[in-house]
Structures are given as C-alpha cells and as structure tokens.
Structure 1
C-alpha cells in the first residue's frame, strides 16, 4: 500500500476555487496526496466538483480537479479527483516545492529533512518479524555518498570536456569566424569598387547634363525638308517664268523673290529651332533620369557596404580576434569567387558608356545631310 505524503508546511499554500457565490481565495490547513483541507466555512454540496488552483508562496501554481468530501469545524475537505495523469505530477510538484525553491534550487541545509520526508516509517517489530538482521546507513553517510557522487560526476565531465572537446571547439569556432570575416571583407571590397565606379559614372553624367543645359540652340543651324525644297522650287520657278516672259527682272519680281525666300527660310528656322529644343529637352531629361538612377544605386551600394562593415566590426568585437586584412584583396583572377560579378559590372559600365556616346553623337549629327545656312541682305 502506497504511503500518504503530506506537505510539511501547509500554511505556505493558498487555494483558489470558484463557487456559485463567486471566486474565493483561502488558506490551506492540510495538503497531502489524497485530499486538501481548506480553512473556510463556505457551504458546498456533495455533488460539487472544482478546478482547484493551489499555489505555494515560493514555488509553483498548479490546477487540479477535486470534489467536495466533507465540512466541519476544521474547514472544508476536498478529495482529489484526477482527470489526467499530469495532475498527479502537478501534485507531486506542489509537495516537493519546499525542497526545490522558486528556481528549482536544492536547499543544501534541508537535505536531511528531505530524506526524512521521502522515507517510509516502518515499525521495528515489523522488520524483526521478517529479518533477523538489517544493514543501517545513517543520514550523514547518505549525504556524504551523494556529495561524493556529485563531485566525481562534475570533475569527470569537466575533465573530459577540457581534454577532448575544448580545443576542437575553439579551432572550429576560429575557422568559422575567419571564413565569415573573409567573406564580409570580400563583399566590402567589391562594394567599394562598385561605389567608385558609380561615383565616376555619376560625375560624368552630371558633367554631360551641365554641358547640355549650357548648350544654346543655334539660330542659324537648320536644314530644309524635302517638302519645303519642292515648295521653294515651285514658287521660284513661277517667279522666274513670269520674269522670262516679260524679258526682264523688274523690281516687283525681285521683291517677290526676296519675300518668298525670307518666308520659307523663316518658317524652316522656326521648325528647326523647335526640333532642336525638343531634342535638347529630351537629352536633358534622359541625363536627369540617369543621374537619379546612378545616385540611387550609389546610395544603395553605400548602405550595403556600411551594413557589411558594421557586421564585420561586430564579429571582431564579439570574438576578440584581430585578423590581418592583407589577404583579402579583390581581383579578377580565376580563383576570385566574385570574378563573374565583377566582369558583369565592368560589362554594364562599358555598354552604358558606349550607348551614351552614341546617343550624343547621333543627336549632334541629326539632319546634317541637308543642312545649310544663309544670310539674306536687304538692299
């Protein structure tokens, strides 16, 4: 038959239950593995069942099912009505709470009391009826044996860890740290190279933008379209035919010829100015967008570099190691892990520069095949 365990200090416990009249909190007069005695005079029914919350002042708080058993001058008795095996474990934790403390610490000064509490009280007459002689260990001997076993286990585990694992763990940690730091250093160097390239591209784009903004649209630079040339030929032939029929070029014909040329050339100048102004504005817009895009790329690259540098510094500080950085030089050798990224970056830079030069050359040479300039003088 299993012995009944009783809590040594029931006054250290409190109980919370919910009854029809409301929730009450009461002190505990007795607590064991079968029942709990509450210091209260509330009236309960024999059919009442509860979820009892039992709390230890320096230990755990557990919820256990119980049913009403009896009441009297001492208080109300509730019998445990376990609904799940874990409730039995919860009750054991409550009974062991005085010997563990709030943080699971064994109270060295109460080891003897704990052994007494866990021991089973048996009468000597019952032992004599079954055995002629028995071996006896005093509590002090038991405590010494426990302490010796603990010391031996601690010494063995520490010694084994120092000899077999300490150096290996240190080597592995140092190797992993070096690898990670090398990777971040390479990333930082690549980002620095990328930032320098972006800076140069931004400066060049800004220079082109300023040059384009300062460029004035030439008044005398224009070209005649095919339609205008045909119109001019038709009108001039009409005037010349009329002068030929008369046999002489009159002042009226000369004025008509001048007005025709001035009218046609003025309209062509206006058209060419509009075209060049539009092309000028388009080039400025393209360069503005390019400068903005390069500036954003430069900012993002700087932020990424700063993050990599910050993380590398944190790694150095956290490990307390200082490594030489002379071995982490970027390059385009075949063994460089970032060789493909660098080649792609250089290719993009060359392509964008080539496109920009072609765009500027095409815009400057547009319409030069039919261009001509002329000044008309009024006599």
Structure 2
C-alpha cells in the first residue's frame, strides 16, 4: 500500500522518498529501488508490488502508482529479459532469436498484446531492431515534467502553453506568467520527482503528485480538453487538498454573504497559500474587494482570475460590470463581447453589452441586443428599462 512520509528517505538509496515497506529488505523504500529489486521475480507473492505471472503474455504484470514508475520497471525488466531463455522460443533467448531471424522474432512478438505505455521501441532498440514510429504522447505526467523542467530553467514564458489558457490576449498571457512566476516554492524549485499519478473516474480530471526539492509536496491538476490534457491549477500539498477545495469555496462564499469580512480575508489568504493559481479563489478575492468597496483592487483580482482561466464566466462578467458602472465603456464592451462569443443567448450578457454600446452612442445596436434579451427573458427588468430610456 502506498504510504507518505514527510521526513523519511528511502533506506536503500537515501535519495527518493520512502513510499512502501519492502518485505524482502524489511525497509521503507522508494519506488525506484523497489523496481530494481522486484525485477528478479524473487519478491514474496503477498507483496502488492511483486511481479505477477501472466500466462497470456511473455511479460509479467507490474503494479505501479504512475506511468513513470511502470515504464521504469518495464525497462529494467527488459534489460534482463532479453537474455533469459523462453520456452515459447524453443528455449532460446529473445536476443538470440532476434539476431538469428528478425522476421520470426517480430512475428512472435506481435502475437501478444501489451499494456498501454509499454516501451516497445526501447525493447527493439535493445535488440538492435528497427524502431516503429511513435505517436505523440499526451500524458499528464509528461506534461507535469515538462512544466516543472521549464520552472527549473526559469523559462516562465513557456509555462502557459501547458495550461488551459489559450486566449490570444497578450495582457492575460503576461499576467498568467507573472502570477506563476511569483509562487514562492516554484521560484526555489531545482528538483522534482513523481510520487504517484492517476486519472479520475470521470476521465476528464487527472492528478500528478510530485515531490519538489526532495522535501515539498506539490500536486498538479489537469483537465481533458479537445486538444488533450491541460494544466488547470496546482496545489501546494498532497492530492488530499484537492478534495477539500469545494468545502473551502463554500466557507468563503458563506463568509462573504454574511458580511464577515475578516473571516473571509483570513480564509482567502490561507487558501491562496495552498492553491496559489486557483481562478476560483481570485474570483472570491475580487468579490471581497467589492464588498469592502475597493473597486480598483477588485478589478485586479477579477483580471487575475481570468488570466488563470480565460473562459471563467463569473470574473469576466464581474469585471465588465465594474467597467460599465465606472463608464469605462471600451473595457466593458471588450469583456461582455468576450462573453457574448460563447454565451450569445445569455440575456444578462446581451443587456450589459447593449449598455456598453449605448454609452458609446451605438443606440441601434444596443436596442437590438436588448430586444433579443427580452425575447429570451421577457421579465428582464434592466433590459426593459434600457429600452424605455432610449425610445
């Protein structure tokens, strides 16, 4: 069973984090050292991580807590396996058969099914055979590694490409970079290692749990989009905190609705230290600044929220509404037009975009939007008043 220790290192290498107890060595070890031990098939069968024979495959089954661990284990095993005589190869080793009769060996190899992420080209390369073209991988663990490697290289501008944010607005892109660049732990990152990873039952959420600088827990949350996996946000801690986020949102929202400003502020600051690039928390921060009547700070917080999630309706609407109230009409038009692109049947968006047009003297365009809003929601009083005002 996977276990987490804050201070213990692997009792063999003294480098990676100890995650499981080895029944052979009677020591707490990391997954790399576990792999190096278990490939000889001598681990007791009661060990959860012992190799399990599969009569339908020339390879045993491996339990692993991440794709990274699985591939590492398979490669170590293949290094040994190619020199082990196989009964299905007339007692010859895979290396010998591949050297004698490449076609026969490849036909034999093709007679089996292999798990996803099996490093077939690694095996072919070890045997001196021609490798197959490999499709581009789309795996959260690969993205997490690339992301944190860019962090270590301080290539901050490269980070946004891995995120859910693809808007072409240069100001949003720059602000995303600034927020990430100012996360304290990321500024000090010089090493990372995957502890475990997995995809949720919904198939559209994935978590990659890392150790940073051989000490700190860090979790990356990914969302599945049409173009593949994208980073949604990060957690300064273990995956357990992911399941606490909605509860924290609810508590902050309750404080704000009850006018408990001090409690809301304290909860926001604590939560932002744990979820430093959460668009939701920056949105709630904007609401807080609105309640305490510091609208300039509210606008900054809403903009930050949008920078972290370019399609987040609530902060876009809120920022546009403040712009509208302050007669910053070009800005208001920009944000409500952005919402209109994806919410063309939303009567509130239609009404506010119309108000921005009217403030610019574009009355006919405004009326058209208000009339459309009332067709969708005949009881929308703001649209009624706007039409009455501009008869």
TM-score range with shorter-chain normalisation? under 0.3
Name the structure where helix makes up a greater proportion of residues.
Answer: 1
- Point out which structure has higher relative CO (alpha carbons under 8 A, 6+ apart): 1
Larger Rg: 1
Q: TM-score, normalised by structure 1?
A: 0.20
